Chain A
Amino acid sequence: MKFERYGLGIAKGLAITFSYLFRRPITVQYPEQRLNTSRRIRGNELVWSREKCTGCATCAKACPIGAIDIVTAPNLVNNRYAVEKYQVDTGYCIQCGLCVEACPFAALFMGYDYERAKYRRNELVQNKEDMMLESGEKHTSGYFYPELAAKLPRQTLLIDRITEDRTTEGK
């Protein structure tokens, strides 16, 4: 006479949930504690290097939705284009990174910051001056450039059992 389904399944489940009362929760209290993002994060903005850019507009051609706007004028001094306007609408951008991969001169990078919320939609449009690498305020992510990625802090992984005290350096 075999007995089954007399309540043992429920009892096993109850034992597991009871054991969870004694484990440490895995919540990370955001804004007091922050995790390190991936070194290759395709953050919410683009960082552009004015010295290396030649105005070839390969990035604009590679963008699947046309979020990059470039206007150039010929500059006979160096035999390269003068980039008059380089504008990215980050509200329109889908952060796919195809522009970064397409640039033949390594002049374009994805951004590393992710806390860039604005109150108005037109503040999301980035002009040349907002995006320049040479201004020193922009952090680039290591997407597609492993040598840049090696300089960024390591990503915190849940599998390493994050403890509640690990905050990011320098933030």
Chain B
Amino acid sequence: MTLKTEPFVLNIGPAHPSTHGVCRLKARLDGEVITDLECVFGYLHRGIEKLAEERTYTGIIPLTDRLDYLAAMSNNLAYCLSVEKLAGITVPERAHYLRVIMAELQRIASHLIAVGAFLNDCGAFMTPILYMLREREKILDLFEMASGQRLTYNYMRIGGVSQDVPEEFLPALTKFVDEMPAHIDEYDRLLAENEILLARAKGVGILPAELAVNISAGGPVLRASGVRWDIRKADPYTIYDRFQFDIPTGTVGDCYDRYRVRVLEMRQSIRILKQALEQIPAGPSRSAVPQLVRPPAGEAYARIEAPKGELGFYLVSDTSIAPYRCHIRAPSLINLTALRDMIVGWKIADAIIIFGSIDICMGEVDR
């Protein structure tokens, strides 16, 4: 006589302490094992692409801040690169260096939150995330010094950056870059070899390399599966070809590899920052661009290596002051398409961890 069991549907609902925003996961469970998963999102849709058709090119920049709100500098940068490509505007040297400095600092800040939230989902009761938020505070102080805000910076402009950094910025940045590697070592000592974390995260939620390439994943998710692809090396934008840095890759593509890849990327970002600090020239930080930019008719697509993947802006212009169409290629949405293949067969506890290790931001997924 066999025991009859029934599968039931559990709604890991929109308002949940660890779905990183409002995302609904409809899971079909058999005991504790997930047999099917459907991801329902759209709770944060604000119509950014449509709103962008009614604002001037400069006025869209505050909108792009709110896409991936944890990495606003990267969004600004991608958009400005796209408009400059469309309109053929050149950017002064100092502005290039400032953009790279801001982008790499933003990468560190975003990875700190990603790793911290992942460890929090594993159950380490807020201790690692609070340590990492302390480092993120230091980065946000630097951003506040340069742009005036801590989350939605609106710092990049078409043709450069909004204003030059104040004189105490570069010494403070030097201090930060000098002491950050010690903090990353501390995080490694705290949890990198922890047996329970290894048991929870190694071998869990494997994304095979072929599947990752087929769904056009990007960022740490792709690199942890073993594919060496980084847009900063493959298709360099601004001045990334002047810096020397490595691309950390994983081997298996499980949650532990994604966590390690992010930590190693933080170290590489610090290396880039040190080189940028040595090489930064004096000069203007913004080239003269009219307030109402009218690019010639055409289309352009520019992409950057955002902390979460490949972020691209596709702009179509019809010579008016607002774009005809602005489409945003959001990395979190594309990375999310592999969720079902990664989660089916594991338990609820693993589902939460796998979801956290992909590191999505609902502002990007829903736009």
Contact = CB atoms under 8 A, between A and B. Distances in A.
Indicate whether A and B are direct neighbours in the complex (CB within 8 Å): yes
A158 B166 contact: no
Contacts of A17: 127, 190
Max chain A Cβ within 10 angstroms of own Cβ: one of B61, B141, B168 = B141
Contact of B58 (A13, A16, A62, A144): A62
Contact of B62 (A94, A141, A143, A146): A94
B196 interface: yes
A71 B295 CA distance: 32
Nearest to A63: B59
B152 A9 contact: no
Interface stretch (A33-41, A80-88, A118-126, A130-138): A33-41
Contacts of A155: 141, 144-145
Interface stretch (A49-57, A95-103, A163-171): A95-103
Contacts of A47: none
A38 B194 CA distance: 39
B311 interface: no
Interface of A: 5, 7-10, 12-13, 15-17, 26, 37-42, 58, 62-64, 94-98, 101-102, 110, 141, 143-144, 146, 149, 154-155, 157-159
A15 B189 CA distance: 9
Nearest to A101: B162
Given A62-B291, A159-B172, A10 B194 contact: yes
B190 A40 contact: no
Contacts of A41: 144, 148-149
A161 to B, nearest CB: 10
B194 A37 contact: no
A25 to B, nearest CB: 10
A96 B62 contact: yes
Interface residues of B, number: 42
Interface string B154-171: 100000001100101000
B147 A10 contact: no
Given A9-B193, A10-B195, A26-B134, A97 B154 contact: yes
Given A17-B190, A157-B141, A98 B59 contact: yes
Interface string B126-158: 010000001001100110111111001010000
Contacts of B127: 17
15 contacts: A10-B196, A12-B193, A13-B190, A16-B189, A39-B145, A41-B148, A62-B291, A95-B149, A96-B152, A96-B154, A98-B154, A102-B291, A144-B162, A157-B141, A157-B172
Q: Which interface residue of A39, A62, A64, A110 has the most chain B CB atoms within 10 A?
A: A64
Contact of A98 (B58, B137, B146, B152): B58
B141 A158 contact: yes
A42 B148 contact: yes
B189 A149 contact: no
Contacts, number: 102
Nearest to B179: A159
A98 to B, nearest CB: 6
B170 to A, nearest CB: 13
Contacts of A141: 148
Contacts of B141: 38, 155, 157-159
Given A40-B166, A64-B55, A158-B134, 6 more contacts: A7-B195, A13-B189, A13-B191, A15-B189, A17-B127, A143-B148
B144 A8 contact: no
B176 interface: yes
Highest count of chain B CB atoms <10 Å: which of A26, A63, A98? A98
A53 B176 CA distance: 42
User: Which 6 A-B pairs give the minimum distances between C-beta atoms?
Assistant: A64-B59, A9-B193, A40-B148, A96-B62, A38-B144, A42-B148
Contact of A157 (B138, B189, B191, B192): B138
B119 to A, nearest CB: 11
B198 interface: yes
Given A16-B190, A40-B148, A64 B60 contact: yes
A91 B6 CA distance: 52
A88 B158 CA distance: 26
B334 interface: no
Nearest to B63: A64
A10 B191 CA distance: 8
A13 B175 CA distance: 26
B216 interface: no
Nearest to A104: B291
A140 to B, nearest CB: 12
Given A64-B59, A101-B162, A94 B152 contact: yes
